[in-house]
Chains A and B, each alone.
Chain A
Amino acid sequence: MVYEGVVLEINKRNIVVLTSNGDYLTIKYKKGSYDGQNIYFTEEDIYKENKYSRFSAIAALILLILIPTFIFMSLPTNVQPAYAAVMSVDVNPSIELFIDKEERVIDIISLNDDANYLIKSEWIGESYSKVLVNYLELIEEKGYFEDNGVVLFSCIVLDEAIDQDKLRVSSERAIVTVEKEISYAYIEADKETLGKAKEENLSAGKYKLYHEIQQIHPEITQEELKGKRLAELIVETKGIYLNRKGDKKDNNKNKDTLKEDNQKNKNQETVKPKNKYKDKEQRDTRDDKDIDSDDSKDNDREKKKDGIKEYKDENKEKNKESEKGGKNKENSNNRDKNWDWKDEFQ
């Protein structure tokens, strides 16, 4: 096809023409042309900016960043000195943030496929709190927070120079920015935990969580645990923790006094409901109370759903309790339904 066009503008690499059929095109630069010249050109002269070149450069850059981190992951004991702390953040997409002394994120690793699409290379170099806020916003935007969503932080300090309290405060503040009602748990772990977690391909937070539960319930396999929602697991673990501390004997009671507790228990896992659950939500789900959630793993999805409902119910009961005082029996029945293996523990 032959095009006919008037030269409108001559640039260094291309020429802008107005074609006789009213199209504006950029064509390859050839010398000798001048503004207003009427020229013939063909399909092969049309200038194509290589849009992929920029993209592939970014892809190469990401690879360059990722490859060393993978190498690092396979050698968890040889922690690079530049990392002052490793924070793992589990929602369902799980990431690991490598933080330097100045609380800047210097590396990000996604721990599952969901997270792969969320992490952004431009986060590298930003402050931990900023990255965390962005990440949580993104998760909320993409709808990963289920009702009563939980964020599990685990902090592994590699260099004592970093201000651990500041990391915790940053994490807590980031949670507040999320509009949805979510809870969070904050775990502090050590280097060995990180190494073991890497061996099992888990985040340090999840590893520790699973480990705690398995200590008390050795019959539960990791596969079973993976099927459970984080929220359920954390509530369980927290109970165990507090029991050990000897503060509270009753799990349900613990739940109510949780707000106060977590301020005190700085070095333990804590769950802190950000807001009280709205009454309306609870009413909606009330009818679905008696769904059995003890199905095997292949019913995972449904189980999760049921889990949410029951969890909500629980909370409703909890609210009632705090209003009227003492409906413990019903509440614990409810919990038993949710946690078959918990009975054995109690």
Chain B
Amino acid sequence: MEIQNKNIIDIILEIKEGNEILRNDFIQSYFSFIISTISKVTKRYVDVNNSDELSIGLLAFNEAIDKYENRKGSFISFAELVIRSRILDYIKKQSKDRSIPCEDNMIEENACIDNNLSNIEIREEIENYKESLKLYGISLKEVVDKAPKHTDTRENAARIAQSIFENPLLFSEFERKKKIPIKAAAKYCDVSEKVIKSNKIYIMAQILLLKSNGDGLKEYIGIKGGVKSGI
């Protein structure tokens, strides 16, 4: 929070003087900027797990902090320039190493190999999840449309889903009828029926997610709660 109130130039000066905590905070608060800059250069989404681009981007941003001087214009545009050129260098180097002229093809191939090797499990899981949604008469689009936009509402609905999933009676009823036993569930979770009714689709989707046999998706949601905040 400290960061937002101070002048960027002052912050950078302080970092250069050796305030490493501030450096970390600063980078973190500009994380979304870094992500969107990388994404703009590569024209792809930045992979969370094994992305060279992400580390290059972060290093480039770090470099930008060290190299920034007041006469170089605004810090943001300077940092963008640095990240951009480092990422482009990397892409060029990659294509040279493999001596494939078209960099786009190369990255795609690369991604394909990666994803074939390491993602079979989660892909299968997603397939199963989508299948079970279909079985319960829900389309993924519906889930997107009906998912509560408000974080509190969503968390509350997710809790209800969890309770229904963990209660064997309610869950078997849910599986049998292919819909939420609204009355019983409302009583059990101590919420009004209206809450369940209005978030019906989302709750069902969450129960099915919990039900899915793999751990990938479940863990993903369970462990990585919260969102990193940036600019």
Contacts and interface: CB of A to CB of B under 8 A. Distances in A.
Nearest to A43: B32
B126 interface: yes
Contacts of A3: 227
Sort chain A's interface into a size bin: 35 or more
Interface in B121-152: 122-123, 125-127, 129-130, 140-141, 143-144, 147, 149, 151
B12 to A, nearest CB: 22
Contacts of A262: none
B158 A22 contact: yes
B225 A21 contact: yes
A57 interface: no
Secondary structure of the A contact surface, majority rule: strand
Contact of B45 (A23, A32, A43): A32
A6 B217 contact: yes
Secondary structure of the B contact surface, majority rule: helix
A37 B155 CA distance: 23
A193 interface: no
A1 B31 CA distance: 8
Given A34-B111, A37-B115, A24 B144 contact: yes
A38 interface: yes
A14 to B, nearest CB: 9
Contacts of A26: 144
A24 B143 contact: yes
Contact of B44 (A9, A32, A38, A44): A32
Nearest to B115: A34
Interface string A36-49: 11111111110000
B7 interface: no
Interface stretch (B16-24, B35-43, B66-74, B94-102): B35-43
Nearest to A4: B48
Contact of A18 (B31, B44, B217, B225): B217
A45 B123 contact: no
3 smallest beta-carbon distances between A and B, as pairs: A36-B122, A39-B45, A32-B44
Interface of A: 1-4, 6, 8-9, 15-16, 18-27, 30-45
